[in-house]
Structure 1
């Protein structure tokens, strides 16, 4: 059994989940999931929309397993997601500061939450452009700096001068910076059970692929009970469901006699609960959130608000 587990670990094989019955084997009063399909990174890179389905048992006590590969799917829309690795770039804070202090278009007198929302929305556009033109592709940056370190290392061995030594150390510092940025795979994988500093990017990359495959909606039930696997129909059925569900006529229930509700909160407690939070209370709560968490649909992580607090806190 240890050899089998070592084979799974050494081959970087992962279980992407399944649909259908929870158990693949049944005998008497025993139910177990004995049969599994494991995939490696190469498979998920090519067939990233792979689905595993447990079919119904017939004559055998084992369930047949169907591997379904879907490749004719339209690529989903890519939404903005702040990457914490951007914070390590030397020009990031300057980009945020210049954009944040610019007047709000079309009316700079807008205040409150609306002003904050407009500034965050505008900053998204700037960060996308900055990421493409300044930050650029992380893996290409690492490859380029690694080549530079190797060439400078060879140069220093043949000509060990102080100038060549300084150039080599500078290139090594740049390489360390890019390797620190590479931990963004940990953020994308949303792993909570590992401590900071773990840099097993291959493991995180596999988890991201697994989440993409598991979260994809392969089929959906229609009103007549039949299943549809057409991507366009899945999209329209999901939208129609929530449109009809959220637009239902609301019928309020008559309020009960408040005399039956006991007074458990004193007037002093109620006054304390009703006080608007102080500036320091907001800061303490914000700085206590996990750095990779995204609190809302805007895509900004709590680490963004921490690192830029001295710039954006006024809003």
Structure 2
């Protein structure tokens, strides 16, 4: 939805170039973090006031229609109707994305339906509390996160590792030395770009919170810095 506004690209370019990268992974992650924070501010303060803008435009439309009856000039009325249609389309896409309803086309202007779906999904997915290993009920978000991380850390770790299982000796090796060298070789910028192209735009966002769509669409902005980070 943000990509429909040309100011989004301007915000990304300005934010990305505001931080000096020293060609290491931590600097790239820091730049992504800053860019995400700037986009969140832009969305809250500039882009997402759709409802407020709709109310203002509709009020202006009523005044313009009254004035057009007197003057006979309806140019302002047509202009306001066009702006309202754009805002209505933006509102539908906003709630469509928030509801994660993929089986209904974007052109269905059923804002109430998408709003109900998003609200229901939010209530269903919200974790209000969780019991930790000491049977203590945790309700703060940071405490819930810690309990979940600790649980899976214990689940996928062992206190008595034994990598030298004799059973493994009877499994034939299918990976040749040449194949192993290719698999463990340093990946290239081309491979990163191709992998990003194959990812679903809004799936599997990493710890930075940025979905693949960000890198797919703004690859021209981030390409040089990611390339330098890979080659360094």
- TM-score normalised over the length of structure 2: 0.73
Higher strand share: 1
Aligned residue in 2 for 1:286: 196
Matched length: 221
| Counterpart Cα distance in 2 of 1:205 and 1:236 | 30
Corresponding residue for 1:213?
123
The yes-or-no answer on 1:246 pairing with 2:153 is yes
Higher helix residue share: 2
8 Å contact kept, 1:88–1:177:
no
Query: Aligned with 2:101: secondary structure?
Result: coil
Q: For residues 206 and 117 of structure 2, what CA distance do their matches in structure 1 show?
A: 23
Q: Take 2:152 and 2:41, find their aligned partners in 1: how far apart are those partners?
A: 38
Partner of 1:90: 6
Report SS of the residue matched to 1:313.
Answer: helix
Residue 205 of structure 2 is aligned to residue 295 of structure 1: yes
Distance (whole Å) between structure 1 residues aligned to residue 127 and residue 115 of structure 2: 21
Residue 263 (structure 1) aligns with = 173
- The 3-state SS of whatever aligns with 1:91 is helix
Shift of 1:278: 4.4
Kindly indicate whether the alpha-carbon contact (under 8 Å) linking 1:190 and 1:292 is maintained by their aligned counterparts in 2: no
Q: Which has the larger radius of gyration?
A: 1
Aligned counterpart in structure 1 of residue 15 of structure 2, from 99, 111, 118: 99
Is the contact made by 2:201 and 2:213 (CA closer than 8 Å) also made in structure 1?
yes
Please report how far the alpha carbon of residue 97 of structure 1 lies from its aligned counterpart in structure 2 after TM superposition.
0.9
Residues 187, 292 of structure 1: 8 Å contact kept: no
CA deviation string 1:29-86 (max 9, x = no partner): xxxxxxxxxxxxxxxxxxxxxxxxxxxxxxxxxxxxxxxxxxxxxxxxxxxxxxxx33
CA gap 1:136/1:205 in 2 versus in 1, 3 angstroms: closer
Checking the alignment, whether the CA contact within 8 Å between 1:97 and 1:311 is kept in structure 2 is yes
Q: Which consecutive unaligned segments of at least 5 residues does structure 2 have?
A: 227-232
C-alpha contact 1:291 1:301 (8 A) present in aligned 2: yes
Indicate the SS of the match to 2:41: helix
State the TM-score, normalized to the length of structure 1: 0.57
Q: Which sections of structure 1, spanning at least 5 residues, go unmatched?
A: 1-84
Counterpart of 1:126 in structure 2 is 38
Cα 1:170–1:216, aligned 2, differ >3 Å: closer, same or farther?
A: same
Match of 2:49 in 1: 137
Verify the 8 A CA contact 2:12 2:35 in the aligned structure 1. yes
- Is contact 2:57–2:84 with CA below 8 Å preserved after alignment? yes
Q: In the alignment, what sits opposite 1:50?
A: none
